[in-house]
Amino acid sequence: MDQELTIYNSLSRQKEIFEPLNEGVVGMYVCGPTVYSDVHLGNCRTFVSFDVIFRYLMHLGYKVRYVRNITDVGHLVGDADSGAEGKIEKAARLMKLEPMEVVQMYTNGFHEMMSIFNTKSPSIEPRATGHIIEQIEMVQAIIDNGFGYIKNGSVYFDTLKFNAANKNVYGKLSGRVVEELISESRDNLKNQDEKNHPSDFAIWIKADPSHLMRWNSPWSVGFPGWHLECSAMSTKYLGTTFDIHGGGTDLKFPHHENEIAQNHGACKCSPAKYWLHTNMLLMNGRKMSKSDGNTITPTQLFTGDSPHVSKGYSPMVVRFFMLQSHYRSTLDLTDEALKAAEGGYRRLMEANKILQGLSSSNTGTGGNLDQEINGLIDQMHLQMSDDFNTPKTLARMFELVTKVNGLKAGHLSIDEVQKSTLDRLKSTFQAFIFDILGLTNELSGANENGENLVDDLMAIILDLRKAARTNKDWGTSDKIRDSLKELAIQVKDDKDGTTTWTKN
Ligand code: AMP
Ligand code: ZN
């Protein structure tokens, strides 16, 4: 952990030096999906961003406990629908399934998609319905501390009373002023008139008898408010105060603002030290939205079965495309940008393959080129440590790709590069491409551990071809070349006697 890491903290609206509460360990909570429909690309962008953050923290040597929840109760249907129906419950009714069947189906789909994008599993993946007792206890603590009131079996958070006692904590994250706030909260819209003030929000909601998802509580048979689950589960698994809390910018208000209020209200302390927010995914310059057809599913993107793309793009090309923008910038998905990402991804993977095959016998001092390479490697670390700036890290990597290609082509001299520098470049590229950026090599089938079955098999095939050529067995050597061509694999014999291959 020699590298100083700075993180943009949404709460202070500035970059801060990252100092974990306990040396060497990091607690990170990220709001997970609401599992009432297929995971969409916007969600994937957010989870890929936090996957890179998780991976980089581990690369820096931290022991990370990464908690990402599954929202399976409490998240209510938005303003368009009247009443207080939950998203899961509505999907269950429409599909004639048990709510838990809906939850299981979309949780499975979510896990599959996370694995397709090569994201690492979180350390703990708690479900809201598995933590009803903890949520009831938190509501009770909020009431006991004087910040919750009961109306007709529902419990509301008293934002005015809370702010009077807590130096205007409520509104700090999202920049809202409580007194002016017309309630934007997505809670029990049917019962707005039960609130003392429009900015108050429900922490326990009394359920109609027709409601499928409801539990006994001291106040009514009902269900928890959506924001409560994250307060209860982050506290349970990371403690009352922990290091990082993340989610998309759309969650800043009301979700995260309410979470902070609940944690303060129950535990009398601020939950997370650093709040990180990922920006939204757009398509063709506009918000991705189902209602006006400006949307594409991950599967459609992979198969190319959509009017928005001219062809299919592989999951690693899409992941690479996501990494080309910073997590705090919006990301605009267009066919042209994906095509460019595909070219970039291939160039990076091919250069890494070439790099791993280079060797230098220079054990003396290096020249300018040596210094340039070391400088660019330092820059890669610095950029990643500057609020996880993946686009700038990739820009430095592509400067190094040009150097690698120059060394291979002979424009640059390998004799100018010390063996130790070349080794450093090799291991840094391996670590950044596979461990930190989380890419896999789709071009040659390498897995995350660097095991490369396709490369190994190709080496055997090319050896057989070489032996055939030495024995002037042109029939066999041509057959090998033609069969590989059918698989879109090009074999090239270089002047120095080496043979390389590429796949189109
Ligand atoms: P949800 O399933 O709607 O609760 O969202 C799960 C996560 O995806 C949250 O962290 C959201 O902020 C994030 N998210 C939702 N829509 C988008 C989007 N268009 N772009 C990026 N992240 C999003
Ligand atoms: Zn949450």
Contacts (Cβ under 8 Å, ≥6 apart) of 294: 283, 284, 286, 287, 288
According to DSSP, the β-strands at 242-248 and 25-30 are parallel
Main-chain dihedrals φ then ψ at residue 363, nearest 5 degrees: -105, 5
The closest of 461, 468, 453 to 485, measured between CA atoms, is 461
Residue 311 DSSP code: S
Q: What is the pLDDT of residue 366?
A: 77
Q: What is the pLDDT of residue 448?
A: 46
| Ligand in closest contact with the CA of 75 | 1
Could you write out the three-class secondary structure of 234-262?
A: HHHHHCCCEEEEEEEHHHHHHHHHHHHHH
According to DSSP, the β-strands at 286-287 and 6-9 are unpaired
Check if the beta carbon of residue 376 is closer than 8 Å to that of residue 398.
Answer: no
CA of 325 to the centre of ligand 2 (A): 24
Cα distances from 275 to residues 13, 123, 279, 286, in angstroms, run 10, 19, 13, 26
CA angle 222, 227, 229 (to 5 degrees): 70
| Ligand in closest contact with the CA of 247 | 1
Tens place of pLDDT per residue across the chain (504 aa): 567 999 999 999 999 999 999 999 999 999 999 999 899 999 999 999 999 999 999 999 999 999 999 999 877 775 323 356 788 888 998 999 999 999 999 999 999 999 999 999 999 999 999 999 999 999 999 999 999 999 999 999 999 999 999 988 999 999 988 777 655 554 545 667 889 999 999 999 999 888 889 999 999 999 999 899 999 999 999 999 999 999 999 999 999 999 999 999 999 999 999 999 999 999 999 987 767 778 899 999 999 999 999 999 999 999 999 999 999 999 999 999 999 999 999 999 999 999 999 999 999 887 899 999 999 999 999 999 999 999 999 999 999 999 999 999 999 999 999 999 999 999 999 999 999 999 999 875 555 444 567 777 888 898 889 889 889 999 998 899 889 988 888 888 876 677 777 776
The closest of 302, 305, 304, 322 to 314, measured between CA atoms, is 302
The closest of 76, 52, 132, 124 to 385, measured between CA atoms, is 52
Contacts (Cβ under 8 Å, ≥6 apart) of 248: 31, 42, 46, 277, 278, 279, 280
| Ligand in closest contact with the CA of 49 | 1
The closest of 440, 26, 58 to 238, measured between CA atoms, is 26
CA of 230 to the centre of ligand 1 (A): 15
Q: What is the pLDDT of residue 504?
A: 65
Separation between Cα atoms, residue 300 and residue 305, nearest integer Å: 5
Mean pLDDT of the chain: 91
Reading the block at residue 54, the tokens are: 């998780």
Residue 172 DSSP code: T
Separation between Cα atoms, residue 88 and residue 74, nearest integer Å: 9
Contacts (Cβ under 8 Å, ≥6 apart) of 209: none
CA of 278 to the centre of ligand 1 (A): 9
CA of 227 to the centre of ligand 2 (A): 6
Main-chain dihedrals φ then ψ at residue 15, nearest 5 degrees: -75, 140
For ligand 1, atom 7, name the residue with the nearest CA. Answer: 43
State the closest ligand 1 atom to the C-alpha of 282, by its place in the atom list counted from 1: 19
**Alpha carbon of residue 407 to chain centroid:** 35
Specify the 3-state DSSP secondary structure of 214. Answer: coil
CA of 30 to the centre of ligand 2 (A): 7
CA of 251 to the centre of ligand 1 (A): 8
**Mutate which of 41, 110, 250 to test ligand 1's pocket (most atoms within 8 Å of Cβ)?**
250
For ligand 1, atom 15, name the residue with the nearest CA. Answer: 43
Task: Respond yes or no on whether the N-terminal peptide bond of residue 254 is cis (omega within 30° of 0).
Answer: yes
Q: What is the pLDDT of residue 81?
A: 31
Residue 312 DSSP code: -
The set of protein residues with a Cβ atom below 6 angstroms from ligand 1 is 31, 33-34, 42-43, 45-46, 71, 247-248, 250-251, 278, 280-281, 288
State the closest ligand 1 atom to the C-alpha of 46, by its place in the atom list counted from 1: 22
For ligand 1, atom 8, name the residue with the nearest CA. Answer: 43
Check if the beta carbon of residue 221 is closer than 8 Å to that of residue 228.
Answer: no
User: Over the range 62-92, which residues count as b (16 or more CB within 10 Å of their CB) and which as e?
Assistant: bebbbbbbbbbbbbbbeeeeeebbbbbbbbb
For ligand 1, atom 16, name the residue with the nearest CA. Answer: 42
Q: What is the pLDDT of residue 391?
A: 98
Q: What is the pLDDT of residue 82?
A: 35
CA of 424 to the centre of ligand 2 (A): 40
State the closest ligand 1 atom to the C-alpha of 281, by its place in the atom list counted from 1: 20
Q: What is the pLDDT of residue 80?
A: 28
Contacts (Cβ under 8 Å, ≥6 apart) of 18: 4, 5, 6, 7, 274
The closest of 81, 78, 30, 79 to 53, measured between CA atoms, is 30
Crossing angle for the helix pair 257-267 and 226-238, to the nearest 10 degrees = 60
Cα distances from 174 to residues 154, 199, 357, 496, in angstroms, run 26, 13, 51, 62
DSSP 427-478: HHHHIIIIIIS---BTTTTB-TTS-BHHHHHHHHHHHHHHHHHHTT-HHHHH
Residue 71's DSSP bridge partners are 34
Sign of CA dihedral 127, 130, 132, 137: negative
